[in-house]
Amino acid sequence: MARLLTISCLQTSPRPTFASAREEAIALAEMAMGKGPSLICLPEYCGGLRSDEGRFIPPHAKEDEHPVLLALKDFAKKNKVWISVGSVAITGENGRYFNRSLLLDNNGDIKCRYDKIHLFDINLADNPHAFKESATVQFGNQISLAETPFGKIGFSVCYDLRFAHIYRQMAQNGAEILLVPSAFTKKTGEAHWHILNRARAIENGAFVIAPCASGLIEGGGDSYGHSLVVDPWGEILADGGVGSGVITLQIDLQKVGKTRMQIPSLQHDRDYELKIIDVSGENT
């Protein structure tokens, strides 16, 4: 029996202020509602993003005062739709903030929180500044899964995509949908975005929903776009291309169970030991 779910990915642009981020998010959400989604998904830093010499400095606020989050909670309640708030910056301690993803139910209540675990500290050769998310972000230390009327959802954010083990752990604990809200850089996106999202779907026999911001970041940087929905067989069902917009489609979650029966690799983990053999001193 089919388990159908209509989802909309909102492909927002990185916005430097609460007001501009809120305006675009709500406008795209209203556009999406014309297609009747049960779940709306937004990208990473959909509550606003700026940078300064490689440091991420988005506008941030306490959770109960965050203007974009409050607007999305109100939208969810008024429109009776679930919303995955890809991530917003929530004020932490010592001048830092959490890069926090939240799930809102159709009454606008927060049902799940996830603070990004793996922080984007890299140095691209052709970039004058190293990206150092850890300079401003307080990392999380807990994986989050949510039981919903649609099925079990696993949470991650952007750079987490490169750490396959967390997705396997979520899938082995029943996750059928893996969320990957992102603001992937254009350079790494062109090289790795489609491959990594397809790999996470194939490895885990799960749907991957990956809304990604698109466009220039004030202060430096460029988000890749190409929001994706990938099925458990690794087929790309939708690609948002570049620029702001909405992609909406219906998925059948029954395909998760079918795929995992065909390739039951989640059940085939084995214990092993690592043996390192030093042959550096031997003659060749």
**Among 9, 46, 73, 116, which one carries the catalytic annotation?**
116
Question: Which residues fall within 8 angstroms of residue 205, CB to CB, at 6 or more apart?
Answer: 171, 232, 256, 259, 260, 263, 265, 266
Cβ atoms within 10 A of the Cβ of 263, count? 13
Could you tell me which residues are beta bridge partners of residue 82?
A: 39
Handedness of CA 217, 223, 227, 230 (dihedral sign): negative
Q: Respond yes or no: is residue 44 known to be catalytic.
A: yes
Q: Let me know if 158 is a catalytic residue.
A: yes
The residue from 44, 133, 176, 186 that is catalytic is 44
Residue tagged active-site, from 9, 46, 158, 212: 158
Note if 9 is an active site residue: no
CA distances from 3 to 33, 149, 150, 176, 228 (A): 20, 11, 8, 12, 20
Q: Are 5 and 255 a contacting pair, CB within 8 Å?
A: no
Distance CA 162, CA 272 (A): 23
**What's the chain's length in residues?**
284
* Residue entry with tokens 């300064």: 52
Q: Which residues are catalytic?
A: 44, 116, 158
